[in-house]
Structure 1
Amino acid sequence: MLMNHARSVRRILSTKVAVSVVCQRTFATGKAKKGSKGVGPSDALKASTLSKEVKASTVVGANILKDGTDPKILPNSKYPDWLCQLIDKRPALSELRRKNVDTLLYEDLKRYVKLDNRAKIKENNSLKAKN
């Protein structure tokens, strides 16, 4: 009975190994020419064919439709106010720790609590890992 169990486990393990070997991803590489070494002129980055005016007036690569065109860049007054706030950098934990907690804005206080809890969790995990 024990031998049958061992054989079945061995069969399962061998099929898992076979499946993992068959299902491995491989990456195709181009055939190298004889005598070629390293990157040739054909492999170099190609210069953009778009003019500077087109790059400055459209969002190149933002088109998601098959038959569509890239959207034009509008003046800042056409976009909502909250969009510009996405670019603003948020303060790091060390910077928030230097400030007085009583004077922090609600968003900054929320960020401080979140980052402080994350730092405490990382510290506890590193202490547990060392023991």
Structure 2
Amino acid sequence: MAMNHARTLKTTITGKKAIGLVFQRTFAAGGGKAKKGSKGGAAGDAPKASILSKEVKSTTVVGANILKEGADPKILADSEYPDWLGHLLDKRPPLSELRRKNIETLPYEDLKRFVKLDNRARIKENNSVKAKN
């Protein structure tokens, strides 16, 4: 049914009028007023106050529970976690910094990272050369 209306508009309206109709913005019925409980609108854009207290937020990992039943896990003391967990966020040197260092004096982890990043860089370079040809 919409196609029939579009065809009649297409045949009867030409030129500048058609451009105006194509780019005309329309709104839903109701005068643009947002109803209470409706989707969208300015009333729903405001951030909602959290119903969780600060004490609960500071003692539990909110949203970490993936099961239907159960509770969010509690935050433990730092001594309860393994040592390697604290090192996950440590910054590792980029390839350019590793290339400047002497390869023979690098620790094993940095040497392994250098080999991996160097191989990745060579593969990218070879792929870009092949793509140009």
Normalised by the length of structure 2, the TM-score is 0.66
Q: Is 1:36 aligned to 2:35, yes or no? A: no
Q: CA RMSD in A?
A: 2.0
Question: Please, which of 71, 74, 77 is the counterpart of residue 75 of structure 1?
Answer: 77
**In 1, Cα distance between equivalents of 2:85 and 2:61:** 16
- Can you list the C-alpha shifts for 1:20-66, whole angstroms capped at 9, x where unaligned? xxxxxxxxxxxx66443984121333232222221111101111222
Q: Percent identity?
A: 74
Aligned residue pairs, count: 100
List runs of 5+ in structure 1 lacking aligned partners. Answer: 1-31
Question: Please, which of 89, 92, 95 is the counterpart of residue 90 of structure 1?
Answer: 92
Q: Could you say which residue in structure 2 is the equivalent of 1:116?
A: 118
- Can you list the C-alpha shifts for 1:62-115, whole angstroms capped at 9, x where unaligned? 112222111110001011111112121222111211211111111110110010
Larger radius of gyration: 2
List runs of 5+ in structure 2 lacking aligned partners. Answer: 1-27, 34-39
Tell me: CA distance 1:33–1:83, structure 2 relative to 1, closer, same or farther (3 Å): farther
**In 2, Cα distance between equivalents of 1:86 and 1:40:** 41
**Per-residue deviation, 1:128:** 1.2
Q: Is 1:99 aligned to 2:101, yes or no? A: yes
Given residue 52 of structure 2, which amino acid in structure 1 is its aligned partner?
Answer: L
Q: Could you say which residue in structure 2 is the equivalent of 1:17?
A: none
